[in-house]
Structure 1
Amino acid sequence: MNSVKSSASQAEGSPHQRTRPPSTPVRRRLLALAGARGQVAKGRDFTRRALRDWELDGTETSADALLLVSELVANAALHAGGCQYLALSRGDVLRVEVFDASPEPPRPRFGARPGAPGNHGLRIVDRLCERWGTEAHAPGKVVWAEIGTSRLVAGSPVRR
């Protein structure tokens, strides 16, 4: 599995720079999680509120976005000493960024057995988003993933 799902180039410097301006104005939210207990739950709640405020909630794809956040934050907690920050950006895509203090890129774990817990996180991430990848960010890295906002708006309603 490749660490970048598609060949989107990023400009040097900030991981938030884009090579072309977005056609939709970008809104951004940041949650500090360094040292916090319950990082996954806090990240999901933060994301749920942002999706609601941005009118991107209520579809199956918005539920996928919550699962995506859970997987990325959990991976940081399990393999990178915890999530330092969770950043959400909304423009043409919903961009989820998880910052941690480990410079080691995420690596898919092979040998996961279907139905057995563990070692499925990056496969789940790969299936939920259009693209994902990693970038160096002192002192560690940022793992990012993107879902098109058109998918979030047009997705099937969540059955409650």
Structure 2
Amino acid sequence: MSTTRPQLPDDRPEQGGSGVDDGAGPAAAVGRRTRRLTLVGASGVVPMARDFAREALREWGWTPAEGADRKAAAEDVLLVVSELVTNACLHAEGPEEVLVSTDGKTLRIEVSDLGSGEPAPRTPHRAGRPGGHGMFIVQRLSIDWGVLRVPGVPGKRVWAEVAAPA
């Protein structure tokens, strides 16, 4: 599913920043843990974003994973992070920020960029064809995903949510 909404019901406007947010912001007050990584001007952003997400997963108890379901869930998150950041690199002049947050039931990944394009799975999807699989992968691994835009502000945030392992 792909949706374009200005704001989801549980979203709160967030202040800009750099580095890592350990959940001390407004989301922490309602039990949501959040980490933020600024990527403006950085090189090697895809592995940097994966390492950042891997550290968040470790901190939040998703890894080291015990059992196949937990390991698969953690790998799904890392793949979704890679695909969203790669998409921003290829189609939007690079990502500006990666935000990961969890409420214990889902993990949300957001990648912001200044692009005006609308990400969508390529249709028809042809598995044997090289390239163009990123948003199809995100769609398959996520319980929901979409695009957030703020009227009058350039760019967007592409988000995806992955279910926590049982």
- Cα distance, 1:110 vs. partner? 2.9
Q: Which amino acid aligns with 2:33?
A: R
The unaligned stretches of length 5 or more in structure 1 are 16-20, 155-160
Per-residue CA deviations over 1:10-66 (Å, capped at 9, x if unaligned) read: 368638xxxxx99x7111100001121111100000000000010012211100100
* 2:89 paired residue among 77, 80, 89: 77
Whether the aligned pair in 1 keeps the contact of 2:121 and 2:139 (CA below 8 Å) is no
* 2:51 paired residue among 45, 51, 76: 45
The equivalent residue for 2:9 is 10
Change (3 A) 1:11 1:47: closer
- RMSD between aligned alpha carbons? 2.6
Pair 1:90-2:96 in alignment: no
Whether the aligned pair in 2 keeps the contact of 1:98 and 1:144 (CA below 8 Å) is yes
Whether the aligned pair in 1 keeps the contact of 2:122 and 2:136 (CA below 8 Å) is no
Change (3 A) 1:66 1:11: closer
Alignment TM-score, normalising by the size of structure 1: 0.79
Matched positions, count: 143
Pair 1:143-2:158 in alignment: yes
The unaligned stretches of length 5 or more in structure 2 are 15-26, 66-70
Runs of at least 4 residues off by over 2 Å: 8-15, 107-113
Instruction: Give aligned-pair identity as a percent.
Output: 42
Output the CA distance in 1 between the equivalents of 2:129 and 2:53: 28
Output the CA distance in 1 between the equivalents of 2:163 and 2:119: 23
The equivalent residue for 2:128 is 115
Q: Which amino acid aligns with 2:57?
A: L
For residue 2 of structure 2, give the secondary structure of its aligned residue in structure 1.
Answer: coil
Of 54-63 and 69-78, more deviation after overlay is shown by 54-63
